[in-house]
């Protein structure tokens, strides 16, 4: 099967889990299929539109004409972001570029991930050539400019007129999607509640690549708690700091990995507390080493997460998960075996859970093994099989 994958970002340009998942799924699909990935790049990139080898795939990068590259959007002024979004409703340059690539490559399926930067015009380009479109939603981008639904009213829908207009036009483009896939029931429900109209919908849980590990069990001794994510308020830094303070005089070490606007708070606490270790942003082998040595993943996010890959990576390495009961997170946690949930208005429960584990090494060992066992259903190979079955069903129905 020939699969054209469209993802606004792709390694080495990564901002979050969506790009990692697009890469890992594409790599797995390419074992038995011909995969061409199309992604964005900086305007100054000299090899635009060139087909290049990328591991077991082919890749093409180009800059969809707009105010700036999507990878550089974080520090742009508000007026420029607004204009960028207007141009990103239906980017004509993307439409004609993708249409030409489809004509040249002749794919059986077009599979899109995050398309901001390309715009929904890519779906129209595929439909113009009668190619079935599968879209994987990684966040709420098509229904809200704040894709993680981080609003002052703490609700999924902020109720603002500008958001309603944004949603109307993006969901209009989404009608060109044949199969809308969500990794969580939560996110699919959000889209359906906002009157998304597509031919078919499906929930396929995310997966991650298996990494060989010689670790059969966690080392005993000091309890190692890991926080891995953006160092910002909406990721639950307040809860993390409260937990650190509570265990200041107990045999618990906190490892913090990530970057963000509240880094200074973390570095300040590290200077005062020898049991706090700040690693900054980590990836690759350093990330794997930290996961291997940790006992607990603390995931106290305050925003409506979809299906965080860091939780799946933690399972793979036998970590016990303690996570907030919000968004799609509860769908990944089996409280009887793989972790614990806490409500955002009860952060003290985190301390009680860790205290209980600290006093029960046997319980720790039992849960570590259960996490590894639970991970088996989240292997990327299983995820890829579900997608290939969905592709085939779509092709058979056309």
What pLDDT digit, counting tens, does each position of 12-32 carry?
A: 998 888 999 999 999 999 999
What pLDDT digit, counting tens, does each position of 82-120 carry?
A: 899 888 999 999 999 999 999 999 999 999 999 999 999
Angstrom distance (rounded) from CA 323 to CA 329: 7
Asked if 66 and 131 sit in the same domain, the reply is yes
How far is Cα of residue 248 from the mean position of the Cα atoms in its chain?
A: 32
Asked if 373 and 392 sit in the same domain, the reply is no
Asked if 55 and 189 sit in the same domain, the reply is yes
Asked if 186 and 237 sit in the same domain, the reply is no
Contact yes or no for 39/10 (Cβ under 8 A): yes
Over residues 215-222, mean pLDDT? 67
DSSP SS3 for 135: strand
pLDDT reported for residue 17:
85
What pLDDT digit, counting tens, does each position of 3-12 carry?
A: 999 999 999 9
Asked if 24 and 166 sit in the same domain, the reply is yes
Q: Is residue 218 part of a domain?
A: no
Rounded percentage of the chain residues whose pLDDT exceeds 70: 95
Instruction: Please list the alpha-helical segments (H only) found in the chain.
Output: 17-29, 78-87, 92-105, 121-128, 161-173, 185-193, 237-246, 263-272, 284-293, 309-316, 348-358, 361-375, 380-397
Buried b (16+ CB within 10 A) or exposed e, 295-329: bbbbbbbbbbbbbbbbbbbbbbbbbbbbbbebbbb
Angstrom distance (rounded) from CA 50 to CA 47: 6
Neighbour order of strands in the sheet with 52-54? 52-54, 57-62, 34-40, 2-6, 109-112, 133-136, 179-182, 200-203
Angstrom distance (rounded) from CA 25 to CA 56: 12
Q: Is residue 287 part of a domain?
A: yes
What pLDDT digit, counting tens, does each position of 264-296 carry?
A: 999 999 999 999 999 998 888 899 999 999 999
Q: For residue 73, give the DSSP letter.
A: G
Q: Is residue 203 part of a domain?
A: yes
What pLDDT digit, counting tens, does each position of 61-92 carry?
A: 999 999 999 998 877 898 898 899 888 999 99
Contact yes or no for 294/255 (Cβ under 8 A): yes
Asked if 227 and 205 sit in the same domain, the reply is no
Q: Is residue 216 part of a domain?
A: no
pLDDT reported for residue 143:
83
Is the pLDDT at 156 greater than 80, yes or no?
no
pLDDT reported for residue 161:
77
Which sign, positive or negative, has the C-alpha torsion 378, 382, 387, 389?
A: negative
Q: Is residue 214 part of a domain?
A: no
Total domains, the chain: 2
Q: 152 falls in which pLDDT band (50, 70, 90)?
A: low
Asked if 129 and 232 sit in the same domain, the reply is no
Q: Give residue 39's domain range.
A: 2-209+379-397
Asked if 255 and 365 sit in the same domain, the reply is yes
Kindly report the CATH number assigned to the domain that includes residue 312: 3.40.50.2000
Angstrom distance (rounded) from CA 386 to CA 380: 10
Diameter of the chain measured on Cα atoms: 65
The percent of the chain in helix, strand and coil, each rounded to the nearest 5, is: 40, 15, 40
Asked if 193 and 263 sit in the same domain, the reply is no
Over residues 119-148, mean pLDDT? 90
> Considering just the CA atoms, what is the radius of gyration of the chain in Å?
22
Contact yes or no for 318/337 (Cβ under 8 A): no
Asked if 292 and 302 sit in the same domain, the reply is yes
Contact yes or no for 188/182 (Cβ under 8 A): yes
Contact yes or no for 210/313 (Cβ under 8 A): no
Q: Is residue 217 part of a domain?
A: no
Is the pLDDT at 305 greater than 80, yes or no?
yes
pTM of the predicted structure, to 2 decimals: 0.90
Q: Is residue 215 part of a domain?
A: no
Buried b (16+ CB within 10 A) or exposed e, 234-261: ebbbbbbbebbebbeeeebbbbbbbebe
Q: 214 falls in which pLDDT band (50, 70, 90)?
A: very low
Q: Is residue 251 part of a domain?
A: yes
Asked if 353 and 393 sit in the same domain, the reply is no
What is the residue-averaged pLDDT of the chain?
Answer: 91
Which sign, positive or negative, has the C-alpha torsion 37, 40, 41, 43?
A: positive
Q: Terminal CA-to-CA distance of the chain, rounded, Å?
A: 15
Half-sphere exposure of 110 (CA within 13 A, CB side): 29
DSSP SS3 for 315: helix
Top pLDDT among 377 and 160 is at 377
The candidate with the shortest Cα–Cα distance to 367, out of 343, 336, 342, 323, is: 336
Is the pLDDT at 215 greater than 60, yes or no?
no
Asked if 61 and 107 sit in the same domain, the reply is yes
Top pLDDT among 337 and 323 is at 323
Q: For residue 244, give the DSSP letter.
A: H
- Dihedral of the CA atoms 38, 259, 205, 164 (nearest 10)? -80
Rounded percentage of the chain residues whose pLDDT exceeds 90: 70
pLDDT reported for residue 169:
85
């Amino acid at each position: 099967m020939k699969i054209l994958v469209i993802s606004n970002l792709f390694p080495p340009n990564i901002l979050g889990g969506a790009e990692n998942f697009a890469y890992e799924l594409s790599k797995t699909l390419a074992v038995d299929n011909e995969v061409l990935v199309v992604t964005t790049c900086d305007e100054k990139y000299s090899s635009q539109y060139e087909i290049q080898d990328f591991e077991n795939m082919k890749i093409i990068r180009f800059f969809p004409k707009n105010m700036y590259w999507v990878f550089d959007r974080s520090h742009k002024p508000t007026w420029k972001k607004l204009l960028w979004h207007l141009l990103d409703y239906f980017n004509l340059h993307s439409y004609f570029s993708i249409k030409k690539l489809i004509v040249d490559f002749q794919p059986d399926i077009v599979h899109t991930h995050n398309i901001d930067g390309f715009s929904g015009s890519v779906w129209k380009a595929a439909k113009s050539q009668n190619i079935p479109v599968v879209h994987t939603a990684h966040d709420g981008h098509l229904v809200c400019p704040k894709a993680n639904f981080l609003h002052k009213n703490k609700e999924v829908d902020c109720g603002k007129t500008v958001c309603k207009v944004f949603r109307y036009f993006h969901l209009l483009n989404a009608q060109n999607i044949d199969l809308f896939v969500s990794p969580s029931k939560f996110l699919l429900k959000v889209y359906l509640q906002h009157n998304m109209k597509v031919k078919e919908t499906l929930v396929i849980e995310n997966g991650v690549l298996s990494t060989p590990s010689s670790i059969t069990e966690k080392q005993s001794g000091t309890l190692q708690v890991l926080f891995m994510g953006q160092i910002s308020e909406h990721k639950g830094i307040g809860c993390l700091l409260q937990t650190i303070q509570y265990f200041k005089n107990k045999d618990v070490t906190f490892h913090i990995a990530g970057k963000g606007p509240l880094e200074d708070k973390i570095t300040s606490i590290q200077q005062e507390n020898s049991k706090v270790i700040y690693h900054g942003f980590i990836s690759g082998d350093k990330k794997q080493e930290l996961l291997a040595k940790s006992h607990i993943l603390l995931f106290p996010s305050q925003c409506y997460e979809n299906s965080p890959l860091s939780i799946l990576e933690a399972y793979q390495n036998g970590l016990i998960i303690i996570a907030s009961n919000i968004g799609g997170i509860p769908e990944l946690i089996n409280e009887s075996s793989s972790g614990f949930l806490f409500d955002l208005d009860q952060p003290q429960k985190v301390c009680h859970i860790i205290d209980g584990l600290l006093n029960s090494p046997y319980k720790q060992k039992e849960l570590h093994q259960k996490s590894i066992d639970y991970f088996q259903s989240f292997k990327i190979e299983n995820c890829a099989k579900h997608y290939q079955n969905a592709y085939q069903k779509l092709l058979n129905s056309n």
